Chain A
Amino acid sequence: MKDDWTDGRIGEQLRDAFSPPEFPEREIRSRIRQTLKSVGSESDTLRDRTRRHPVVRTVLTAAATLMVFLAGSEYGRRTAEPTAPEAGGVQEGTPVAIQTSGSRYVANLARFAEHAPALGTAEREEAREAAVAILYAAVTELLAQEDDELLAITARLMYSLRQSQYGTDTEGVLLF
């Protein structure tokens, strides 16, 4: 027996009501190029400079420690130890903005680094929020520098920030 599906009526209504939007091909392509350029995918030199910057090193050491734990991956377990906060990544040279806005998060970092293998879902979410907060602080600090190179670094951090806000199981959440 024919019904609304088999006679095509509902399908036609669906196509009318949910026709796909135009694909903004140029706009998205341009944004991708800008992001890749700013984050150093096409410039190893910029990427190296970014990695060496003390603010970036501190923040990324902290945040990457968390994010690899959050991913719960083999890679994360392998890299956790050398990037752990107690190895000096967080507690030495922590920028002022991060200290003032995130002392609680830094303390959490140490705790999570120590207990990462046993983290439950709620703790992982808490850790993710801590990483996001640290990234926010870093972006704020870097923006205040008004330096072209640091702005490029900031763009990278902002991208990482947005990625880290999506959730905890996207591969390569932090891209440094």
Chain B
Amino acid sequence: MQPGAGFARLAGEQRKEPAGTAGGEAVIESTELWDAGLSRELRAGEARAWETLYDALGKRVFRLIVRLVSDEQVARDLTHDTFVAVSERGAQYAGRGSVEGWVFRIAANTAKSWLRDTARRREIREEMLTGTTGGVLRAEAEDRIVLRQAVMELSDGQRAVLLLHEVDGYTHAEIGEMLDIAEGTSKARLSRARNALRERLRREM
């Protein structure tokens, strides 16, 4: 059996894109991603199993990490590290829960570990506030500077949930699986983030 052959049936599933979001990449629902063939390949240490997962999840993993670390270049490195880890740790995948969730947890943990470097996090935040970081932020219009600052002042957890939900269009269930938090926690973080932004924008705009 070719690595990932069981994934053929997964093609063609489309995520509902939020209004104004470009894209339309094929995205696979969690329940469909769990694949017995791939699970066996991972546990058997098949060398190319990571590539099947990269084809299916690479873009979403990259964007998740971008949301967590707010730096495109770092996200490239950490996406690389995530799939190297997927390849290295395939044998550790126990087959419980979805393969997709397992990959996202590795990605989220990789990003969170990087974020623990508080000096680097502070540096990134300052770059974001001054608009010197490339890639993540597109808009430079003055009337959006306040919005950008307000978003960057949120906690890491609130900002990630806000952007994953409002910009990337993920549901709370999906965010919960990606970040390994309860669905209710995702909702609560979004609510707090919205309130904080509302308050800040009301004062500034």
CB of B73 to closest CB in A, whole Å: 10
Does residue B47 face the partner (Cβ distance < 8 Å to A)? Answer: yes
Residues of A within 8 A of B21 (CB): 15, 19
Asked if A7 CB lies within 8 Å of chain B CBs, one says no
Scoring B residues 105 to 118 as 1 if CB is less than 8 Å from chain A, else 0, what string do you get? 00001101110110
Name the B residues within 8 Å of A8 (CB-CB): 19
A96 at the interface (CB under 8 A from B): no
Q: Are A28 and B58 in contact, with the CB atoms below 8 A?
A: yes
Q: Which residue of A lies closest to B21 (CB)?
A: A15
The answer for the CA separation of A165 and B116 in the assembled complex, in Å, is: 10
A79: interface (CB < 8 Å): no
In-complex Cβ contact of A5 among B50, B139, B144, B198 (8 A): B198
- Judge whether B50 and A32 touch: CB under 8 Å: yes
> In the complex, A140 Cα to B83 Cα: how many Å?
27
| Range of interface residues on A (Cβ < 8 Å) | 35 or more
Are A10 and B201 interface neighbours, CB within 8 A? yes
Give the nearest-CB partner of B23 in chain A: A20
1/0 per residue B20-47: CB within 8 Å of A? Answer: 1110000000000000000000000001
C-alpha spacing A173/B66, complex, angstroms: 22
User: Which residues of chain B are within 8 angstroms of A170 by Cβ–Cβ distance?
Assistant: 109-110, 113
10 more contacts with CB within 8 A, not counting A10-B198, A20-B63, A23-B59, are A10-B197, A13-B144, A17-B148, A19-B167, A21-B136, A25-B58, A28-B76, A32-B87, A165-B117, A166-B117
* 24 A-B contact pairs sorted by A residue (CB < 8 Å): A4-B198, A10-B197, A11-B19, A17-B138, A17-B148, A18-B163, A19-B22, A21-B75, A21-B135, A28-B58, A35-B84, A36-B50, A36-B87, A41-B87, A41-B88, A159-B84, A162-B77, A162-B81, A166-B110, A166-B114, A167-B114, A167-B117, A171-B89, A172-B85
Give me the interface of B with A, judged by CB distance under 8 Å. Answer: 18-22, 47, 50-51, 54, 58-59, 62-63, 66, 72, 75-77, 79-81, 83-85, 87-89, 92, 109-110, 112-114, 116-117, 135-139, 144, 147-148, 151, 162-163, 166-168, 194, 197-198, 201
**Residues of A with Cβ closer than 8 Å to B?**
3-5, 8, 10-21, 23-25, 27-29, 31-32, 35-36, 39, 41-42, 159, 162-163, 165-167, 169-172, 175
